[in-house]
Chains A and B, each alone.
Chain A
């Protein structure tokens, strides 16, 4: 069992589930993103998802786009991603996944990327625009290096596709709560609950819900049926508006939702 899966399992066994926090590397600066990530863990986030800024992020809403565009304008390079993972894992023990669109990995070299991520202490990759059908290179590289691979599942995925996603994933399956891109929503769609049920039927023992979650109440609601809740845009907005202290404070509030089951 991987560190990510173990962390989720421990939280589920304790009667709750895992809180997973997303932040982009390089926003508001490389050092600032590392400090913010550490603050998330110190305030109750169980697993980190660090996003690599990319020029054409088709799954991202306006808050994350604005942050990653700023990071790119400030000179973000892929090697900063490995440096961030190394610096964060030196300070906290929570597992750190990288979220990246696929082309940067292809250009860096899939094998080399896997080696460098593993060497930096990273736990694996979340790949929003790589489906298992196109993922043979990455599946082989992650097998060789022991890295997790988190594929996405959508409310529109057929049972056959959900089985393939579950069989191809390691760490957890990222269940997209609603049809749409990242960003806070008033209600996390009822579709999320149905998708988690269908993922269970497809054999998943580690399924986390993301997209649209921004409040402690939503974290509590999602952890009632899923193994983890993923928060992104709300944290990025807190970091943009109020810096490391604000993002730490929001993490603490969100983590309270985890404990109030």
Chain B
């Protein structure tokens, strides 16, 4: 891939620490939160240099999450991708079923370090909420999860999981009643209860230090996968594909490859009913620069700066913003962001299930759909690494309805 801004030898793309990534990032928050963000930044900077913290986190990854996650080559699926080799990074096999646990365990350890006893989180698909409720149970924190009312309905199973784990789930009824509004309510809670509460943010968006910190807790995905693909194939992949909502699984797998110019990076955004219809969540493809949830990034908005409601069949991608590091990687041409419709994602979900016996989360199915198209583009000699960020168990109701499997299930071909 041609790369308009080659990294200079003195400064690798991997070294960006925030608060700004090019023109994107920063801290657009009420003054009431600045002290808490400073406290979190300072604690995080200390832990980066602390071998005991790294050892404790590594042990949790190994004995609790089940890391390293494996890679799986999927040749029967790849037959539909122009014959390209497709290799999946299996974040779906992590404890709690997605990559979200990587970040949550890091932030839970930080919460313990700064002496706070209550954690809050926002969640869309429920995966980050489940991961946070899990860590809260493990560490003995009080836990409140904010979830848009629409999402509590389409991800009812995850609501039950969080409650079973001891968390309080608040159904947010404001605005579009999805992830965006859950973040607003979580921020209001944090402003009010900051003294004893840490906000375990789920993605690489929000005010500094969240974009850099969440990326650092997720970059283990790409570090493992880079070594695993090298070992399997003897070379780096030609392309890495991941779905992008807020963008944490994508940053997690992209980061290790940022300074490998031969590796093209592709982020797949939710195009909903189509990127040219009003019902999509393709923030980088169709959005413009603006300030949302504490950072300057790309977002879906009208000319007055009012945020549009996004749409995706996937609750985890149904977000009108995106992490600032993605906006930057797009602006310098290092990563390519493309839209994938609900229909294409659901086709890819069905195809992976039928050809490989792996049911992906609908979020991850967007990356799979992208890989099918990319394989045809790059040709049969290419290797594509796909981040399978989560498993599809939570989506059975949506998929069952979509494919009409629930009532006539047994007779469906």
Q: Which residues of A contact B (CB under 8 A)?
A: 54-59, 61, 65, 69, 72, 77-78, 102-108, 128-131, 133-134, 151-158, 161, 165, 176, 179-181
State whether B305 touches A179 (Cβ < 8 A). Answer: no
Give 10 A-B pairs besides A58-B293, A176-B32 with Cβ atoms closer than 8 angstroms: A55-B175, A56-B181, A72-B306, A106-B296, A108-B305, A128-B30, A152-B32, A161-B34, A179-B194, A180-B192
Q: Is the C-beta of B331 less than 8 angstroms from some C-beta in chain A?
A: no
Specify which chain A residues have a CB less than 8 angstroms from the CB of B34 in the assembled complex.
Answer: 131, 154, 156-157, 161
A20, B269: Cα distance in complex, Å: 45
Q: Is the interface of B mostly helix, strand, loop or mixed?
A: mixed
Specify which chain B residues have a CB less than 8 angstroms from the CB of A165 in the assembled complex.
Answer: 31
A78, B302: Cα distance in complex, Å: 11
A179, B175: Cα distance in complex, Å: 24
State whether B303 touches A107 (Cβ < 8 A). Answer: yes
Partner of B195, one of A55, A72, A151, A179: A179
Q: Is the C-beta of B184 less than 8 angstroms from some C-beta in chain A?
A: yes
Specify which chain B residues have a CB less than 8 angstroms from the CB of A155 in the assembled complex.
Answer: 32
State whether B192 touches A106 (Cβ < 8 A). Answer: no
Q: Which listed segment binds A: B1-9, B21-29, B348-356, B360-368?
A: B21-29
User: What's the interface size class on B, roughly?
Assistant: 20 to 34
A180, B28: Cα distance in complex, Å: 17
State whether A176 touches B303 (Cβ < 8 A). Answer: no
A25, B291: Cα distance in complex, Å: 22
Partner of A103, one of B32, B181, B195, B291: B291
User: Given the known A-B contacts A134-B28, A176-B31, are A103 and B305 also in contact in the complex, defined by CB atoms under 8 Å?
Assistant: yes
Specify which chain A residues have a CB less than 8 angstroms from the CB of B28 in the assembled complex.
Answer: 102-103, 129-131, 134
A147, B175: Cα distance in complex, Å: 32
State whether B27 touches A133 (Cβ < 8 A). Answer: yes
A133, B184: Cα distance in complex, Å: 22
Partner of B31, one of A55, A58, A78, A131: A131
Q: Is the C-beta of B304 less than 8 angstroms from some C-beta in chain A?
A: yes
B301 to chain A, nearest CB (A): 7
Closest to A60 in B: B188
State whether A106 touches B27 (Cβ < 8 A). Answer: no
Partner of A56, one of B27, B184, B195, B304: B184
Interface residues of B in 26-65 (CB under 8 A from A): 26-32, 34-36
Specify which chain A residues have a CB less than 8 angstroms from the CB of B195 in the assembled complex.
Answer: 179
Closest to A175 in B: B31
Q: Is the C-beta of B227 less than 8 angstroms from some C-beta in chain A?
A: no
Of the candidates B36, B174, B193, the one having the most CB atoms from chain A within 10 angstroms of its own CB is: B174
Specify which chain A residues have a CB less than 8 angstroms from the CB of B303 in the assembled complex.
Answer: 107
